[in-house]
Amino acid sequence: MQWQKWGFIACTGTGICALVLLCDFATWATQGEYVHNRLHEHFLQTDSPRPIAIPKGSPLMTRTDPGRRAKAAIVVLARNSDLSGVLLSMQRMEERFNGKYQYPYVFLNEEEFGADFKQQTSASTASQTMYGLIPKEHWSLPSWLEQEDFDAARARMKQAGVLYADKASYHFMCRFYSGFFHQHPLLQEFDYYWRMEPDVHYYCDLDYDPFVFMEERGIHYGFVITVVELPKTIPSLWNTTRGFMDKYAASLPEQNLMDFVTSGDDYNLCHFWSNFEIGSFSFLRSKEYQAYFDHLDKANGFFMERWGDAPVHSLAAAMFLNKSQVHHFQDIGYRHNSFTHCPACL
């Protein structure tokens, strides 16, 4: 038995849906062989997109103990102006999963949440809701970088057409998710997180607990979609990462996932789409991950370029985790903007 190839359904503005086979994370044979296939150059146009299938005998058919809970939270980075989108995501999350399991929500913002935001979100769930302010040093330029240099870099990238590069807040967000959100005081009591964005649709009822599923199996990172990064956003990320690997070669496990993110000696631009991720804080809080982030941070790529948290998390997972510690949640139906994952059981 092998895992099926997979992709996502991307609905275009013309109404035509494309089944996009991007970075095929893996197929596992019964003997545990890992097979990597790069499919991101293939696009299949179809008027009737076929859902992605979960193979019979999938480990996802094994349910978790309904009475067990992990130390986990649903984490939402949002502004007060995102309230309507947050409420929409919460409604779907409650209907499909959390109404039954009642994990707490942790809302984070670089500004104080207003009373209306707190009242409406807390009224949308029976779970505990927590509201945190991001420390200024986690949402601003580092002390060693000058504002003038950042402004000049943003202007240069805007001229070059680098997506979102002119928005200072986008740079702050990518750096925050890459190196700081797991350090927030409100999250210290938790072992796992589920990242939830505003305006998300969840299409499938979950009758098991992904947090417990990961805890029982020693999984540190879970995803639903992989995509190819825009090369203009990360021109020096791979060379900077290689510099880290050369410096800390002794800390890298022999069994890892570098074959997934590399073609020869180069980064193939594949990454886990981090707008949906379920992860362990022990991975992000590890000394290896922190050393990697510090190395990247000092290189200034979060500001002089437009490094995103998705390739950073993905490269870190590829370096420090093995295939048994990363999981594709094929049975979680998900849509955010034009990115959709549609599962179905065979």
Q: Which residues are catalytic?
A: 277
Helices and strands (H and E) in the chain: how many: 12, 19
Contact 319, 295 (CB under 8 A): no
Q: Structure tokens of 113?
A: 């949440």
Q: Structure tokens of 38?
A: 């790069």
What order do you get walking across the sheet with 277-280 strand by strand? 129-133, 105-109, 72-77, 192-195, 277-280, 221-223, 326-328
Residue with structure tokens 């859902």?
51
The phi-psi region of residue 320 (left if phi > 0; otherwise alpha if psi is between -120 and 50; otherwise beta) is alpha
What order do you get walking across the sheet with 34-46 strand by strand? 8-11, 17-28, 34-46
Contact 252, 319 (CB under 8 A): yes
Contact 9, 341 (CB under 8 A): yes
Beta strand pairing call for 343-345 and 52-54 = parallel
Residue with structure tokens 């941070």?
297
Buried b (16+ CB within 10 A) or exposed e, 302-341: bbbbbbbbbbbbbbbbbbbbbbebbbbbbbbbbbbeebbb
Quick one: which of 6, 51, 2 has its CA closest to 25? 6
CA distance 32 to 25: 14
